Structure 1
């Protein structure tokens, strides 16, 4: 019996994906570990490996197909004893007389009226087999799938079958007459686009996931925001000295590398902020894994620096450069952007003075870092001078973190940045 190859869940948040490219074709022999396809998830484009050995009998989902649900059968793999299984049943009429009688039923395409009654009893007594795309289009057009005869494998209803199907009401029927107009339906308010020259860009899986998760965060997580101004001069001086010593090793620390370290150590010093809220538990983490916001052409992704509280600055810097480069190339592995106990987002390079970031659920907080700039400042001896000042804002999940605990974390972060040798001890 053929083995069903199903759409895999290649990331923790993946619910559907795009089958970007098939690297095999029907009739190809594959073995475990062979790369079969490239699949675009909500975070990256990833290679899909074969688990079993056999011959590709049938490709069920064409490359370039969007919105393929996890678990959907995308191909059939024949074992060694079934390699000719797809071609032998057709020329063997004597072996399967019952099946030969069943096949003529869908064949009379010239007589659609008899075909519909035959499809209805089967649909009523069994689960309707239809592709995810066909189900979506049927819902948009008001088509009852129980009255549609499927032309796909095993009677599966596909998109082409809907063109001949009647709609439930007159309005959907009119819409069905212009199939291209149905494509923008998933967008929030397609009818409200003004009549102005514009370009329309299809949402990527990543952008859809970002939109969904950020909406859920703002709707479900009560945010509290706490801001501190931090003097950077000692940290900038230490960075210069460290980079001079690390030059021979090809390592160059960024300000962000030191801020990642400072946040991680702060979370260990104030463990009440290194937490995650669940409906019935408060999870307290014993190490600080920092998710770092990285901008890519398709949207924001947060690769994770694990054990950032105990890692050396050179290790944080080297890993961060590698993760950021592969994030922009969509080459991150799922485990490299999953997890994290807190996040940091730095928009200082854009000259942004201060901002409030949206929490990345299920984490309990995110630190938003603005640009360092010269400002008038009261020095330690009470005199007025000019110093490099940065504003940092912590967004906290108020269900898990009280305001006083969030304030302690921001104070600890400020103290470590202003006295950076303490984070290296």
Structure 2
């Protein structure tokens, strides 16, 4: 019995990467139907609300029975394929049904649509002569003229009352579609045609601009939209800003970068120093290293700082854990590794979970200052602009040109008050202007 159990097909299930995850979307299969796989080998990529992940084979054998293809969303825990173990026989599954074809909606000018609607004409039946096959007013009128049935004596079939009404309203019966027996035109048909002509007399609205492409609001983009909408809808957010003199910070980064280049170590950046400085300030102001959970404010012991990283699909926030316990060079190394995995789409669940504070630096894009939206359920997020030379008042009221940067803190007013945010920023400015303080 035990040997037979070991040789049963092993299901590949949609895994759960996050606590709130309900489903996952298949991006692509790295292994195809009938191919051999090894236990622990990546066999497909799955996208969650936050990031794309690789799913590993739970056993060695042959991949069979693929039940979902790229783009399909599958609930967590549901089998999406099976692995036949060595020595086990199995039948190849039937191919997945292809998605039904989506009928093309004909393009038509607004006036053409109104006339067609008034006469009950299906635009699919009309060949458009406008740009790109667009159905025009002339196309619909020509179609209606061709459809009007003609009596043997060459007259349009219409009841006498409809003929009188057409003369009164100035309607050409050749353009009217009859709904009576044998296609005979009724008075109501004439009234509908008159109303359509009245609308046609109105100036035609210009055609809308051509659409370059349609991008579905899905995957990561949809997740970002939902999280940010919930953030601004639920959290009363306020911002405070401070200008920081960055000459000493830049000198420290330059010295370490030169040393690491000589020693073959990681590239030390200003962002790494900002992460370290934020951790130092958060230790002094734990109210900002917090989240709101129900009726409680949770202040966290660990300082885990997420750093926003731009990727082609949107934005991900890999997290550096226990920042306050790491040195600047180690922070730079972890930041470099996680940013690289983020851009390649290879982040692991532990790379994005557990953040207690977020840093967003757009200085490298030439942005002077900006306001970031809270990353729920965190209490605060810091937005950093570029370092640029600006006039500043020095000793003896002398105006000097110095490298300056603007830091803007966004905070949840349910958790943090303005005075707390101001004191945090003041300490952060102090430690960036005198980074040697962090060595104490």
1:421 aligns with 2:440: no
Distance 1:223 1:254, change over 3 A: same
Shift, 1:217, TM fit: 0.8
* Matched residue, 1:200: 214
1:9 aligns with 2:16: yes
Q: Deviations over 1:133-189 (max 9, x none)?
A: xxxxxxxxxxxxxxxxxx999xxx9965999xxxxxxxxxxx9x9xxxxxxxxxxxx
Q: Secondary structure at the match of 2:400?
A: strand
**Which of residues 314, 332, 341 in structure 2 aligns to 1:317?**
332
The number of aligned residues is 334
Please tell me whether the aligned partners of residues 304 and 319 of structure 2 are also in contact (alpha carbons under 8 angstroms): yes
* Matched residue, 1:33: 40
Q: Deviations over 1:344-367 (max 9, x none)?
A: 111112221111101111211100
Distance 1:272 1:85, change over 3 A: same
1:83 aligns with 2:83: no
Q: Deviations over 1:14-39 (max 9, x none)?
A: 44333233344555565643433232
Root-mean-square deviation (CA, aligned residues, Å) is: 3.4
Shift, 1:61, TM fit: 1.5
Distance 1:351 1:55, change over 3 A: closer
**Unmatched runs of 5 consecutive residues or more in structure 1:** 88-150, 164-174, 178-192
Paired with 2:319 and 2:219, the residues of 1 have a C-alpha distance of 21
1:276 aligns with 2:261: no
Q: Which moved more, 1:355-364 or 1:302-311?
A: 302-311
Please tell me whether the aligned partners of residues 12 and 58 of structure 2 are also in contact (alpha carbons under 8 angstroms): no
**Which of residues 336, 347, 360 in structure 1 aligns to 2:362?**
347
* Matched residue, 1:265: 280
Shift, 1:232, TM fit: 0.9
Paired with 1:368 and 1:236, the residues of 2 have a C-alpha distance of 18
Shift, 1:332, TM fit: 1.1
Please tell me whether the aligned partners of residues 56 and 75 of structure 1 are also in contact (alpha carbons under 8 angstroms): yes
**Unmatched runs of 5 consecutive residues or more in structure 2:** 1-7, 104-121, 125-206
Shift, 1:376, TM fit: 1.9
Distance 1:85 1:265, change over 3 A: same
* Matched residue, 1:18: 25
Shift, 1:56, TM fit: 4.8
Q: Which moved more, 1:195-204 or 1:316-325?
A: 195-204
Q: Secondary structure at the match of 2:324?
A: coil
Distance 1:80 1:280, change over 3 A: farther
Q: Deviations over 1:366-386 (max 9, x none)?
A: 000111222221224543322
Please tell me whether the aligned partners of residues 293 and 302 of structure 1 are also in contact (alpha carbons under 8 angstroms): yes
Paired with 2:41 and 2:258, the residues of 1 have a C-alpha distance of 46
Distance 1:257 1:86, change over 3 A: closer
Q: Secondary structure at the match of 1:353?
A: coil
Give TM-score, length-normalised by structure 2. Answer: 0.67
* Matched residue, 1:46: 53
Q: Which moved more, 1:246-255 or 1:262-271?
A: 246-255
